[in-house]
Amino acid sequence: MLEKTTRINLLYDFYGPLLTERQRTMLELYYHEDWSLGEIADYFGISRQAVFEGIKRARKIMEGMEQELRLFAKHVRRREIVEQIRTEMKGSSDRKAVESLLQELLDLD
């Protein structure tokens, strides 16, 4: 459950700006503020089911955008590459290895 929530939070960081205001509010109340479906339903004056569907749809949209753009996956890979360069720099800094990592960074975009 925690892992799933973490993934949603990270997807939200990347794709939240492309959701509607209403979708963002629902996700924030549910995942960040830990409101129940019932509380969110009362807040919007809609049914629990509508909130459930709204959250499900927002998540599906974000997963769909990730499938197309891979921003989250690239972000993770970029962090790994930076860590590898840091490790190289701590040692005798093999320039060829660093160059190859830098090239991978460029190719990711």
Q: Are 17 and 6 in contact (CB under 8 A)?
A: no
- Of 17, 34, 45, 91, the residue at the interface with its own copies (CB under 8 A) is 17
107 is a contact residue toward its own copies (CB under 8 A) = no
Q: What's the CA gap between 73 and 78, in Å, rounded?
A: 9
18 is a contact residue toward its own copies (CB under 8 A) = yes
Shortest spacing between CB 17 and its own copies, in angstroms: 4
CA distances from residue 18 to 1, 37, 86, 91 in whole angstroms, order as listed: 25, 23, 33, 42
Q: Are 15 and 71 in contact (CB under 8 A)?
A: yes
73 is a contact residue toward its own copies (CB under 8 A) = no
Q: Could you list the residues that contact its own copies (CB under 8 A)?
A: 14, 17-18, 65, 68-69, 71, 75, 78-79, 82, 85-86, 89, 93, 95, 98-99, 102, 105-106, 109
